[in-house]
Amino acid sequence: MSDFLQGLIKRIESKEALIGIIGLGYVGLPLALRYSKAGFVVLGFDVDKEKIRNLNSGGSYIEHVTAARVDQAIKKGFKATSDFKDIAACDAVVLCVPTPLNKYREPDISYVIKTAEAIQPYLKSGQVVSLESTTYPGTTEEEVLPRIEASGLTVGEDIFLVYSPEREDPGNLNFETQTIPKIVAGHTTACKEAGIMLYQQAVDNVVPLSSTKAAEMTKLLENIHRAVNIGLVNEMKIVADRMGIDIFEVIDAAATKPFGFTPYYPGPGLGGHCIPIDPFYLTWKAREYGLHTRFIELSGEVNRAMPEYVVGKLIDGLNNHCKSLKGSCVLVLGIAYKKNIDDMRESASVEIMELIEAKGAEVAYSDPHVPFFPRMREHHFDLESVELTPERLTSFDAVVLATDHDRFDFDLIQQYAKLIVDSRGIYREPASHIIKA
């Protein structure tokens, strides 16, 4: 064991290590607060000055991360900054930056590359650098490694490089950062040892892997598994609907089988930062090896078509009421990508809103978790959430149920909405003004 590794492990074990978290979003902020709770001083980095001001004043911009947790971390030394020079003071540097798709649906790892380049001048011997962003196999070795070693440090001897994919599930009350098993892999054996020690301080169960590529592939498999199965059940929904069968009844019945079946439920399309995006990271990388991932790409086509399918059902419903979509007023219920959270990343609801507006309708939304439509990279509506009252519900020509938040009064909606397009299977009993989508 090198002196640098030995010193790093000693600082981590004694909780003297300063933990730096880059990217204070849905992944980075909970991780930062977890390390603070575990007894470490944490320095958070983000390029968003508004986030920095919010956090340093004891506030929070993520619904399930309370201001009280942030305030508690501040009392233990937590500070947020946009000055990357402070990387030099950190013992561990964890990258939690976005990895979206570009307009050609190809991987955009520019945030990873820019962050690696931004921290490179401030790296020093005895640090561990961990990438948590979901990405294609080979990113850690091909993109992060050479940028670290451009500083003159040797990875595995002077500094230690780790890949440990995030596994956050916003709104899931059964799991949190501490209780979700953590995949950890290092560029070398020494790197892996440093990574295991780093994450053991914050997570109950660390799962070491043989290589960073295997860890990168593991994260993709987890999300591709879900994407493919959701694509299957979305396609089954279309078939069942054409046959006059309730797909939700069928899934519930199949789920009574105690073996060999896992229930997945259809919806208006995929949402969240991972599932709509991650499969395309693998399909893109597979082409480098002369492979065509037909199964994965087919499920992606099915899932991407769901918002248009929902809007098609809306058009059919309005036609049955002697109305056209153009000129109608439509309320979209729920714009977060799944129930009971405020996370709107890649939300199918937003695409549905854009499709409705593009066809000449006036669109509004109601979401108890998102009072104002937030600033997004690719989408914007100058709207605020509509309060659900009998008067407001009756003022709309149709209501599209896109996200089934528990805080919605579904009985009230059913009673006063003129037309309901239900993409979540909330209303199981047939009714003349309810269309299943």
Annotated catalytic sites, by residue? 274
pLDDT above 90 for 243:
yes
The whole-number pLDDT of residue 336 equals: 96
Q: Check whether residue 298 and residue 330 sit in a common domain.
A: no
Residues 327 and 400 in one domain: yes
Based on the fold, state whether residues 114 and 9 are members of the same structural domain.
yes
In sequence order, which residues have a C-beta less than 8 Å from that of residue 61 and are 6 or more positions away? 51, 54
With tokens 């109950």, the residue in question is 204
Domain end residue (candidates: 302, 327, 362): 302
Query: Taking residues 228-243, what's their average pLDDT?
Result: 97
Q: Are residues 204 and 99 in the same domain?
A: yes
Asked if 318 and 324 touch (Cβ cutoff 8 Å), the reply is yes
Section 343-367 average pLDDT: 96
Residue 296 forms beta bridges with which residues?
A: none
pLDDT tens sequence across 110-136: 999 999 999 999 999 999 999 999 999
Question: Is the pLDDT higher at 271 or at 200?
Answer: 200
Domain total for the chain?
Answer: 3
Whether residues 100 and 172 share a domain: the answer is yes
Are 349 and 271 within one domain? no
Q: Which of 204, 209, 216, 215 is nearest to 177 (CA)?
A: 204
- Are 276 and 368 members of one domain? no
Is the same domain home to 49 and 141? yes
Measured at the alpha carbon of residue 428, what is the angle toward residues 424 and 430, in degrees to the nearest 5? 120
Average pLDDT for the chain: 95
Amino acid 2: pLDDT: 87
The pLDDT of residue 122 is: 97
CATH number for the domain that contains residue 98: 3.40.50.720
Q: Which of 185, 210, 235 is the last residue of a domain?
A: 210
In the prediction, which pLDDT does 170 show?
80
In which residue are the tokens 């089954």 written?
236
Q: Are residues 256 and 333 in the same domain?
A: no
Q: Are residues 128 and 170 in the same domain?
A: yes
In this structure, the answer to whether residues 335 and 238 fall within a common structural domain is: no
- Dihedral sign for Cα 200, 205, 208, 209, please: negative
Give the Cβ contact number of residue 226 at 10 Å. Answer: 18
Among residues 256, 280, 302, the one where a domain terminates is 302
pLDDT at 384 over 80: yes
The confidence band for 168, taking pLDDT boundaries of 50, 70 and 90, is: confident
Mean pLDDT across 151-164: 96
Task: Look at the alpha carbons of 65, 25, 104, 224 in this order and tell me if their dihedral is positive or negative.
Answer: negative
Same domain? For 195 and 311 the reply is no
What residue numbers bound the domain in which 248 lies? 219-302
What per-residue confidence (pLDDT) applies to 93?
98
pLDDT tens by residue, 72-82: 999 999 999 99
Report, as an integer, the average pLDDT of 145-152: 95
pLDDT of 376 strictly over 80: no
Average pLDDT over residues 243-272: 95
Predicted confidence at residue 105, as pLDDT, reads 83
Q: Region 255-262: what's the mean pLDDT?
A: 96
Residue 84's pLDDT band, with cuts at 50, 70 and 90, is very high
Tell me the per-residue pLDDT of 269-283, one tens digit each, with 9 for 90 and over: 988 878 888 899 999
The CATH number of the domain where 256 resides is what? Answer: 1.10.1040.10
